Amino acid sequence: MTDEVSGIPRRWAIRIRLRDFFYPKKVRHPVLAPPAYSNAHTGRPFLVLGSGPSLLDYSDEIRHFLADRHPVILAGNNAFLPYGADYIGFVNRKRFLRYGLDASHAGRLLIGPHIPSWVIRSLGFGHAAWQRLPFMDSRETPFGVLDGIVQCDCGGIGVLLMVTAGIMGAGGVWIAGLDGYTNLQRHHFYEEPDLVHSTMKQHVARA
C-alpha cells in the first residue's frame, strides 16, 4: 500500500514523517559553511577509496601506486582498513557510529552536515578530530561547487569524495573500490549484513 501524497510505501511515508517531526530543522536543513580544507593540498595526487570488493582484488596495483605516487588518500566509510587514509568521509549516521572510532585512528574525519554534532560528541570526538563535509542533500539539484560546498549529494560518499579531492586542490584524482554495486551478492569487501542497501533506507538513515 502506498501513500497517496508521496507515492512511496506507506510504512516508509510514516517513518519519514516521524523523522521530520522529531529531528529539528538545523539537522534536516543545516547551515552550510565553506570547508577549511579548500586548496589544502594543491597540486597533490589523490586516491579515493570506495569499499567495493575490487579494493582487495587489485591490492598489488594499489600498493604499487601508493609507493610510487604518495597520494593524499580519501576513504569512504570503512574503506580505510586495507591501506590507511588521510581523510575518512561519512554521510551515513549508522556507518559513522559503527566505524567512526576506528576511522579516527587512521586519519581525520570528514562528516556530512546531516549527522548531528551531538552524535559526533557521543563518540568523544573533539573538533581537532573532524571537519564538516558540506554538501546539499539533494538528487534534484544540478551538480556544482560553490565556495567549496557541493551543490548536490553526488549519489554517494565515493563520488562526493572525488569532488572533495578537487576542492582540496588535487593535481589528479585516481579511484579504487568504487564498484557501483554491480555485484548483487556482495556490495563491500567486508560483511555488512544488517545495513540494507536501498535508496529509501539510505535516505532515512542520513537523518
Residues 115-169 have pLDDT tens digits of 998 899 989 998 889 999 999 887 778 889 999 999 988 888 999 999 999 999 9
Is residue 39 predicted with pLDDT exceeding 80?
yes
**What's the pLDDT at 17?**
67
Tally of CA atoms within 13 A in the half-sphere of 201 that contains its CB: 7
Rounded CA-CA distance 139/187 in Å is 22
Percent of the chain, pLDDT > 70? 74
**What's the pLDDT at 30?**
82
Mean pLDDT of 87-104: 92
Report the range of poorest mean pLDDT among 18-27, 80-89, 102-111, 122-131: 18-27
**When comparing pLDDT for 148 and 187, which is higher?**
148
Is residue 170 predicted with pLDDT exceeding 70?
yes
Residue with cell 582498513: 81
**When comparing pLDDT for 158 and 200, which is higher?**
158
Rounded CA-CA distance 104/108 in Å is 6
Residues 6+ apart with CB under 8 A from 160: 76, 89, 91, 133, 135, 150, 153, 154
Residues 6+ apart with CB under 8 A from 87: 37, 72, 73, 74, 75, 107, 108, 109, 110, 161, 164
Rounded CA-CA distance 74/107 in Å is 9
Position 85 confidence tier, pLDDT thresholds 50, 70, 90: very high
**What's the pLDDT at 174?**
97
pTM: 0.77
**When comparing pLDDT for 49 and 52, which is higher?**
49
